[in-house]
A = this chain, B = another copy of it.
Amino acid sequence: MYSIEQFERPSVAADAAVFGLDAGQTEPRSGLRQRKLKLLLVRRGEEPFRGQRCLPGGFLRPGETVEQAAMRELTEETGVTEPKLMQLGVYSAPGRDPRGWILSCAFLALTRTVTPQTAAHSDAADAVWAEVSCTEADGISTLTVTDPDGTVLLQCENGRPVTNRIAFDHAQIIADGFRRLREEVAAHDLIFDLMPELFTVSDLQQPYEIITGTHTSPQNFRKKMMPRLAETELYNEAAAHRTAKLYRRKDGKV
């Protein structure tokens, strides 16, 4: 029987680009709440790239799938347990990791932002939600990732990193992940990963538009979303206006 022992083998890492929306700050003057797109990052606790930001992740262990490895490392390093991870791609360029021959299997998720907590024994430290913003000008779309301390960690123009303080090749994974995030929210149903069991149409709209970078009227947004929603007989508690019906995600794909 053919032996696999004769071949040199790579290490395989699983890294996760986990996006979320923060609760938002209420502006003292206007009173409107501006929620922001965030990305979960950790700080390297070891060489190489000690002290730099990178995606949460770690090495695949025997007996687990890459999905399980990504989820385990995510929980260990950030305390985040909720998201449904989706495969984003494999990064295998020689030299991408100075420690040696290491592939990364990258994942994407969208989830609610809970306060991150790093397990004591983890080799990562200081998990944070970094701010993600995206602007369009003259046909160039610029993606910016900013650390909570104000440092610009990453700037990408049209998907290519131009400023990059992120460890390894994780800048490219973040850029690819952001593009895929928009596709999945706009064309599929990834936005529902942010929602609780019951929600109003308005609850959907702000997250949808912050992530996709689009804007439509509440009326048209409602019409677009209705086929994916199932009515309930429940209403949310009233604010200073008419109560809103609560919806549930419709089972079947649309």
Q: Taking beta carbons and an 8 Å cutoff, which residues of A are in contact with B?
A: 1-4, 7-12, 46-48, 59-67, 87, 89-90, 92-94, 99-103, 105, 123
Contacts and interface: CB of A to CB of B under 8 A. Distances in A.
Contact of A64 (B48, B66, B94, B123): B94
Nearest to A98: B1
B1 A7 contact: no
Nearest to A63: B94
B99 A10 contact: no
A219 to B, nearest CB: 28
18 contacts: A1-B48, A2-B47, A2-B48, A2-B99, A3-B99, A4-B99, A4-B100, A7-B11, A9-B11, A10-B60, A12-B12, A60-B92, A62-B101, A63-B94, A66-B90, A66-B103, A67-B92, A87-B90
Those 6 A-B pairs whose CB atoms lie nearest each other, nearest first: A9-B9, A65-B92, A2-B46, A66-B92, A1-B47, A4-B11
Contact of A99 (B1, B8, B67, B90): B1
A89 B92 contact: no
A10 to B, nearest CB: 6
Contacts of A63: 94
A88 to B, nearest CB: 9
A87 B103 CA distance: 14
